[in-house]
Amino acid sequence: MKILVPVKRVIDYNVKPRVKSDGTGVDLANVKMSMNPFDEIAVEEAIRLKEAGTAEEIVAVSIGPAKAQETLRTALAMGADRAILVETDDEVEPLAVAKILKAITDEETPGLVILGKQAIDDDSNQTGQMLAALLGRPQGTFASEVTVEGDSVTVKREVDGGLETVKLAMPAVITTDLRLNEPRYASLPNIMKAKKKPLDTKSPADYGVDTAPRLKTITVGEPPVRQAGIKVEDVDALVAKLKDMGVA
């Protein structure tokens, strides 16, 4: 079985985003960029399935600027076998990403596509669901456990009320949640080896996908500054204060 893992290059999760002064977006100049954390979990899960003998090949794909090659090299250093960069300088919205991934899935015919549940830059949480819909395939989103048995995959899903277990016929689409696994770090020898692994470069046009935006960002702003807290003498004073504020 082949596994396709889409990985997005996003602002590093340790960086505090700065909003551009004209409110048109987040300032990405000289900002550290990394693989979306949920996608690292997806790569790790694919590698574990390969190590268990369930999968034979892992293909990483990224849609983004030339620099997204670095993200793909990280996936290759972790253990992916080859990579596809769909190069574009446009900001590609989830629907267009899903259409490109559908075309690649049709070409590559993976048994599983494992995506992150959301990209931490746009927080859309849409791509995996849209891809499954476009492919007409079963989906197991927010996975915290994945078990492949024969032609089906059992996914434990993190839902509001607890855990839901679903059994999907493969080929299927999975999106990862935080507790699925702890991604490995790439070792130095593997980082060196990754430089020689195959990386194909394509364009959205190669897949017949128009990446023109469907959404218009009106404005981007900083979150409101948190008010300073106050200290109260005792519980009675706390309750009185809460009543005063209308929250108790």
For ligand AMP, the binding residues (CB under 6 A) are 6-8, 36, 38-39, 62-64, 92, 94, 97, 115-116, 118-119, 122, 124-128
- C-beta closer to ligand AMP: residue 210 or 244: 210
Shortest gap between Cβ of 130 and ligand AMP (angstroms)? 8
Residue 17 token pair: 């985003």
Shortest gap between Cβ of 94 and ligand AMP (angstroms)? 4
In sequence order, what DSSP letters do the residues of 47-104 get, joined into one string?
HHHHHTTS-SEEEEEEEE-TTHHHHHHHHHHHT-SEEEEEE-SSPPPHHHHHHHHHHH
**Alpha helix (H) ranges present in 84-170?**
94-108, 127-135
Measure the CA–CA gap between 214 and 130, rounded to whole angstroms.
15
- C-beta closer to ligand AMP: residue 8 or 187: 8
What phi and psi values does residue 163 have, to the nearest 5 degrees? -120, 135
Shortest gap between Cβ of 242 and ligand AMP (angstroms)? 37
**Alpha helix (H) ranges present in the chain?**
37-51, 68-78, 94-108, 127-135, 188-194, 235-245
Shortest gap between Cβ of 248 and ligand AMP (angstroms)? 37
Q: Minimal CB distance to ligand AMP: which residue?
A: 116
By CB atoms closer than 10 A (0-12, 13-18, 19+), residue 5 is buried
- C-beta closer to ligand AMP: residue 42 or 186: 42
By CB atoms closer than 10 A (0-12, 13-18, 19+), residue 103 is middle
Shortest gap between Cβ of 114 and ligand AMP (angstroms)? 8
Measure the CA–CA gap between 64 and 100, rounded to whole angstroms.
12
Shortest gap between Cβ of 149 and ligand AMP (angstroms)? 24
- C-beta closer to ligand AMP: residue 107 or 149: 107
Shortest gap between Cβ of 175 and ligand AMP (angstroms)? 7
- C-beta closer to ligand AMP: residue 122 or 158: 122
- C-beta closer to ligand AMP: residue 64 or 140: 64
- C-beta closer to ligand AMP: residue 93 or 145: 93
User: Degrees (nearest 5) of the Cα angle 44, 50, 52?
Assistant: 105
